[in-house]
Structures are given as C-alpha cells and as structure tokens.
C-alpha cells in the first residue's frame, strides 16, 4: 500500500508534464508553452480573432501571434506592445522571425528574463500590433490593431464566469 501512493503521484505528475503544449520556432528545439489563446480583435474585420501562445526559453520567452489573412502579402510587421492588466507595457522589437501559410501569418517576438518575470505575475490585458501588406482592391485589411484578452465577443450582465484567460497562472507553471 505504501508503494502504490508514490507511484500514483509520480504517474499523476508525469501526465501533467507530458500534457503541456510545445512550441518550436522555424525548426528549432521545442519549448514548453501555454495553450493557444484566442484573443478578440474587434477592429480586424476579416476574422476578429488572433491566436496567442507564450513559450519559455533559456533566455526568457517567446510570444507567438497568428492571424488569418486574405492574401500571402499581409504580414504582422514591426514591433508590438504587450499591455498587462496592471497598466505595465512590454515593448517587443521585430526580429523578422515570421511564417506564413494555410491562410495565416505568424510572427515571433522574444522576451528578456525580466519581461518574462512580469508575465508570470500579471495577466496580459491586450496586444497591439501592425499588419502590413500590399494595397490592392479587395486585399487584406492593414494598419494598427489591438487584440484583447477576452474569451467571447459578447456576454450578458448575468454571466458571472471569468471572461478572460489566466495567462499569468499558466506562464508561471512553465
């Protein structure tokens, strides 16, 4: 009986570590990552949703941002700002690490260890980014956009459930 409990706990813990998401950047080694969050981008008329994922690296962390586009010329370009719930802002510089395919464009931004420590303590409120692309008729929407940490577009006043993701809690587990 004494041996069964430690074995059960070991199995339980190993299940959680194996269930963790992974992220790799252009063929690099996989990094432990959070789940894919679907943030709401109200001003982006094409889909209105962005996919956000955060991974932990040896030198800090990585932010992966993906959005659907109508053509291959559109890209998430330039720096972006991560607004935290405590009104702190993390500025990320574009290092030109991008992928495109399957009707989506993806960009990767890197966090320093100090910035990653901030993400562990406070939830992400919003992410501000830029979409650049070719200007043509019926082309992709370009400009400045803000995607918010919201699970749904709409909710009622009687809905008492949490309406945003607990990003700090998941990042601190990494």
**All domains of the chain in start order, with CATH:** 32-151+159-173 (2.60.40)
pLDDT in tens, 35-83: 999 999 988 888 889 999 999 999 999 999 999 988 888 899 899 999 9
pLDDT at position 3 over 70 = no
- Of 45 and 8, more confident: 45
Query: From the DSSP assignment, how many helices (H) and strands (E) are in the chain?
Result: 3, 11
Q: How far is CA 112 from CA 21, 47, 53, 105, 163, in A?
A: 21, 31, 16, 24, 29
pTM above 0.75?
yes
Q: Strands, E, within the chain: which ranges?
A: 21-23, 31-33, 37-40, 49-57, 60-68, 75-84, 89-92, 98-101, 104-111, 124-132, 143-148
CB 75 within 8 A of CB 54: no
Tokens 């993400």 correspond to 119
pLDDT in tens, 120-149: 999 999 999 999 886 665 667 888 999 999
């Amino acid at each position: 009986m004494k041996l069964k409990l430690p074995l059960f706990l070991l199995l339980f813990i190993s299940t959680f570590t194996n269930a963790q998401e992974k992220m790799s950047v252009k063929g690099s080694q996989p990094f432990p990552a959070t789940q894919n969050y679907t943030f709401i981008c109200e001003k982006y008329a094409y889909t209105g949703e962005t996919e956000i994922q955060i991974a932990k690296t040896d030198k800090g962390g990585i932010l992966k941002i993906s959005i659907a586009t109508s053509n291959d010329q559109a890209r998430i370009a330039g720096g972006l700002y991560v607004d935290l719930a405590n009104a702190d802002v993390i500025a990320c510089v574009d290092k030109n690490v991008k992928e495109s395919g399957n009707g989506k464009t993806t960009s990767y931004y890197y966090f320093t260890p100090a910035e990653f420590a901030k993400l562990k303590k406070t939830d992400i409120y919003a992410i501000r980014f830029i979409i650049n692309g070719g200007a043509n008729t019926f082309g992709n929407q370009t400009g400045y956009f803000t995607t918010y940490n919201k699970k749904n577009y709409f909710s009622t006043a009687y809905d008492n459930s949490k309406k945003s993701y607990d990003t700090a809690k998941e990042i601190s587990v990494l």
